[in-house]
Amino acid sequence: MNMVPEGQVAPPSRERDRVPRVHVESLGAGPPLVLLHGWGLHAGLFAPLLPALGRRFRVHAVDLPGHGHSAPVAPLTLDALVDAVRGAVEEEGAPLRVLGWSLGGQVAMRWAMRERGRIARLALVATTPRFVACPDWEPAMDAGTLRRFGDELAVSWRVTMQRFLALQVHGSDAGRATLAALRDLLLSRVEPPPDALADALALLASTDLRDRVHAIAAPTLVVSGERDLIAPAAAGAWLAAALPDARYVCIAGAAHAPFLSHRAAFDAALEPFLDG
């Protein structure tokens, strides 16, 4: 493992060719930490976190299949996403810390269910076991909201994603500044294939992990935004209570991207957990 001088961060490694082609940017030194982003975005979203994390961990920021620079997979399932990510991260069986945001959180949960001994610590940020509301699950989005995203994707990816980003920061204390940052990060990589995004949206709409989260053995940090409309805080509280070993943090004033809009509060929760 390459070492870097104290207080400095190693430059990102070049993209590694995988089958399927999954884009991973790796930097830093220390225990391995995998970052998994949300729907429609890419690993560039985590750029503000990398300097600090890279001083303590070997960070692998992954573009999920069909997003950013990564090729799609078909059929698209949570297991297919887990297979693609684990195949792209070279750590020779080392215990992993995994941080998953939104859709990335569901991928991280599925990974932890499958490899109970491999995931050492799990950070679930603004995620939920089920994104769509149903009669026995109220803390979630209306199915019609997700359907509208799918309809708009066929017309304009950029307009659809602008609306999606606005929803992510709706109501947050730093909503305008966070939205500008998200837009810049979104446009820093190529436009993803519409079919891949539509498939991922269908996966969000159909996934329900509520009856399986008890199989996650790793110590887990669940972080919610108080004003999140996509993965409501009540869903995060339920998830933390259902997990065998979890701590729950709700960040006041935050919406769906607390690591951008409320960085100090987010770091205060994440740093001691990852170091534990």
CATH label of the domain that carries residue 198: 3.40.50.1820
Average pLDDT (159-168) is 74
Q: State the chain's mean pLDDT as an integer.
A: 87
Per-residue pLDDT for 2 more than 70?
no
The answer to whether residue 9 sits within a structural domain is: no
Where on the phi/psi map is residue 166: left (φ > 0), alpha (ψ -120 to 50), or beta?
alpha
Per-residue pLDDT for 178 more than 90?
no
pLDDT class of 95 with cuts at 50, 70, 90: very high
The answer to whether residue 188 sits within a structural domain is: yes
- Catalytic residue positions, numbered: 102, 228, 256
The answer to whether residue 53 sits within a structural domain is: yes
The answer to whether residue 99 sits within a structural domain is: yes
Strand extents, DSSP E, the chain? 24-27, 32-36, 58-62, 96-101, 119-125, 220-225, 246-251
The answer to whether residue 6 sits within a structural domain is: no
Report pLDDT for 20.
Answer: 61
The answer to whether residue 202 sits within a structural domain is: yes
**Residue of 14 and 44 predicted with greater confidence:** 44
Report pLDDT for 225.
Answer: 95
Compute the Cα dihedral for 137, 141, 144, 150 and give only its sign.
Answer: negative
pLDDT class of 15 with cuts at 50, 70, 90: very low
Report pLDDT for 168.
Answer: 67
Per-residue pLDDT for 105 more than 50?
yes
Report pLDDT for 151.
Answer: 77
Rounded CA Rg of the chain:
17
Which range in 15-19, 22-26, 173-177 is most confidently predicted, on average pLDDT? 22-26
Per-residue pLDDT for 171 more than 80?
no
Domain that holds residue 89: 24-275
The answer to whether residue 15 sits within a structural domain is: no
Contacts with 131 (C-beta within 8 Å, 6 or more apart), sequence order: 140, 141, 146, 204, 205, 207, 230, 231
Q: What is the pLDDT of residues 197-206, one digit of tens each?
A: 889 999 999 9
- What's the domain count of the chain? 1
The answer to whether residue 60 sits within a structural domain is: yes
